[in-house]
Amino acid sequence: MLPYLKGKYGNPSSLHRIGRASRDAVEEARRKVARLLGAEEEEIFFTSGGTESVNMALKGMAIPHRRGHIITSSIEHHAVLSTCRDLEDYYGFKITYLPVDRHGLVNPEFVGKAIRKSTVLVSIMHANNETGTIEPLEEISKIIKRVNVNRSEANLPRVYFHTDAVQTVGKWPVDVNILGVDMLSLSGHKFYGPKGIGALYLRTGTPLHALLHGGHHERNLRAGTENVPGIIGLGSACELAEKGGGGGKDRNLVRLKEKLRRGILKRIDEVTVNSPPDACLPGTLNVCFRYVEGESIALELDLKGVSVSSGSACSAGSPEPSHVLTAIGVEPVVARGSVRFSLGRNNKEEEVDYVLDILPPIIRRLREMSPFYYAR
Ligand code: PLP
């Protein structure tokens, strides 16, 4: 990225030499993103990140229909949920939010049953950002394909399939043809790339209305001068992920996570593990510690140099339990004590040992201060 932040400042839309050099670099990055996904380079559109890609896919598909029906799940990231809410509130769309099971899995049969005459789009995430659950997209896309065969015979428009793959690209195998999706959103900063850059995969022939209007950038689908250094960083992240096995299931991460999971369960009582044992991102472990707040644990761990995220969003000082955890059946009072540990390729075994050393006294101290602990 550095040369493109310093001397190579050409605008890729300019015809002069330095402009053409930037254009070449952008197109090279597009090829790298496409290669990682098993896509064609002209099917990749650069955006400012996962949120924009999701908005571009959902609104760009829905708005031309004026009214219609969309199917999604109840555990999507707010990028999807808030976009659906907006389509409901301001554009008159009907949205079905599918339930999930104890592990956060969407039942593919439920998708088939939820499809109506007016359905235009199904959007189901590839992996959940809180629990790491991997959704059965292949089965879902097969069901949508079967429905589309019948719809084409009945002269009905087809149903398109989008996935928010922000949590999987670069960390888990993602091939758009194996998954059978028409659109896929990804974000650079989730797999060692820069922040503020992402992409939308759009299968050739999928109709999409542009949300940003202006110049002719990104084949008229996303106007605005390209973020050249960001795009180059995203391309490199994809190239590195591909060299590391195409976003393969990292065995070392799985081993470290298992050590962390077992260690926590052995050392601390009244703990619930929310990440599923199978079909889960290798580095994501979501755990609830009863009688304490996730935020307090995160702050205590931060003081000791460990960065985790508490699974709940804080609004106006009152921590709301996570919509994902409540959807998988965790009681709201328990969900408040959730912590998400995210292991990455730079984490070492000693760091897991360190967390296992410092966590039990933190939980003990917090529980000793908790009125819920004494009222149990
Ligand atoms: N979707 C999921 C599943 C995410 O985890 C995130 C970010 O955390 C997003 C979408 C939004 O991506 P971005 O931050 O690049 O806009």
pLDDT value at 375 more than 90: no
- Ligand 1: list residues with CB < 6 Å: 49-51, 77, 79, 125, 129, 164, 166-167, 187, 198
Does residue 57 sit in the same domain as residue 193?
yes
80 alpha carbon to ligand 1 midpoint, in Å? 9
Provide DSSP, 34-91: HHHHT--GGGEEEESSHHHHHHHHHHHHHGGGSS-EEEEETT--HHHHHHHHHHHHHH
* CB 53 within 8 Å of CB 200: yes
Which pLDDT does position 315 carry in this prediction?
A: 43
Residues spanned by the domain of 279: 251-374
pLDDT in tens, 91-108: 999 999 999 999 999 999
Does residue 239 sit in the same domain as residue 264?
no
Please state whether beta strands 198-202 and 183-187 pair in parallel, antiparallel, or not at all (unpaired): antiparallel
Does residue 189 sit in the same domain as residue 283?
no
Does residue 235 sit in the same domain as residue 256?
no
Does residue 234 sit in the same domain as residue 274?
no
Share of the chain above pLDDT 90, in %: 90
pTM for this one?
A: 0.96
Does residue 191 sit in the same domain as residue 292?
no
Which pLDDT does position 66 carry in this prediction?
A: 85
In the chain, alpha helices (H): 2-5, 17-37, 50-62, 78-91, 108-114, 137-153, 176-179, 217-220, 228-243, 251-267, 294-303, 323-327, 332-335, 349-368, 371-374
Cα separation of 187 and 200, whole Å? Answer: 9
In 158-223, alpha helices (H): 176-179, 217-220
Helix or strand or coil: residue 272? Answer: strand
308 alpha carbon to ligand 1 midpoint, in Å? 17
Does residue 24 sit in the same domain as residue 97?
yes
Does residue 307 sit in the same domain as residue 323?
yes
Which pLDDT does position 370 carry in this prediction?
A: 87
Does residue 209 sit in the same domain as residue 355?
no
pLDDT in tens, 21-64: 999 999 999 999 999 999 999 999 999 999 999 999 999 999 99
Instruction: Indicate the average pLDDT of the chain.
Output: 94
Residue 280 designated active-site: no
CATH of the domain at 317: 3.90.1150.10
Nearest CA to ligand 1 atom 4: 166
Does residue 256 sit in the same domain as residue 133?
no
Mutation pick for ligand 1 pocket among 53, 73, 81, 129 (CB with most ligand atoms within 8 Å)? 129
Phi and psi at 360, nearest 5°, equal: -55, -45
Please state whether beta strands 94-98 and 69-73 pair in parallel, antiparallel, or not at all (unpaired): parallel
Domain end, chosen from 243, 274, 294, is at 243
Alpha carbon 301 to chain centroid, angstroms: 25
Does residue 268 sit in the same domain as residue 206?
no
Which pLDDT does position 102 carry in this prediction?
A: 96
pLDDT in tens, 163-175: 999 999 999 999 9
CATH of the domain at 56: 3.40.640.10
Helix or strand or coil: residue 127? Answer: strand
Hey, which bits of 87-212 come out as E strands?
94-98, 119-123, 160-164, 183-187, 198-202
Tokens of 28: 């090279």
* Domain tally, the chain: 2
Among the listed residues 84, 238, 280, 314, the single catalytic one is: 314
Does residue 115 sit in the same domain as residue 185?
yes
